[in-house]
């Protein structure tokens, strides 16, 4: 799916700070960060709609989202913990009013040493 691009695809960290980036070319208003740990389903972290943060699940404060414009989403990570090792997916949808399809990127795999 080249319509949602994520970078970097792979990330290996000690206790450093890093940012994940996502850009969607679908013209969608809503953008999501999901975390998927090994052998688990994706779990919502954050949801933005029209650049406003409208859902913030229980996420450690070392994860800080940013939505600089409606097509871009960032996830800043500081002082990572081994439990943060997972694949982080960006997703988008037309909006949040009606239940509809989510389009996922290919993910950024974070490995914490």
Q: Give the residues lining the site for another protein (CB under 8 A).
A: 1, 4, 30, 32, 39-44, 47, 49, 54-55, 89, 91, 93, 95-107
Q: What are phi and psi of 84, to 5 degrees?
A: -85, -10
Q: Which is nearer to another protein, 11 or 30 (CB)?
A: 30
CA distance 85 to 62: 14
Strand partners, 23: 5, 72
Q: How far is the CB of 15 from another protein (least distance, A)?
A: 27
Nearer to another protein, 78 or 103 (CB): 103
Q: How far is 108 from 45, CA to CA, in rounded Å? A: 14
To another protein, the closest distance from the beta carbon of 57 in angstroms equals: 9
């Amino acid at each position: 799916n080249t319509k949602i691009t994520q970078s970097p695809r792979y990330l290996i960290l000690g206790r450093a700070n890093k940012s994940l980036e996502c850009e969607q070319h679908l013209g969608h208003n809503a953008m999501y960060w999901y975390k998927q740990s090994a052998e688990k389903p994706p779990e919502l972290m954050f949801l933005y709609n029209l650049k406003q943060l409208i859902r913030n699940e229980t996420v450690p404060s070392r994860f800080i989202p940013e939505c600089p414009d409606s097509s871009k989403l960032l996830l800043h990570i500081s002082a990572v913990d081994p439990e943060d090792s997972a694949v982080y997916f960006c997703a988008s949808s037309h909006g949040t009013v009606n239940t509809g399809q989510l389009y996922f990127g290919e993910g950024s795999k974070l490995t914490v040493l």
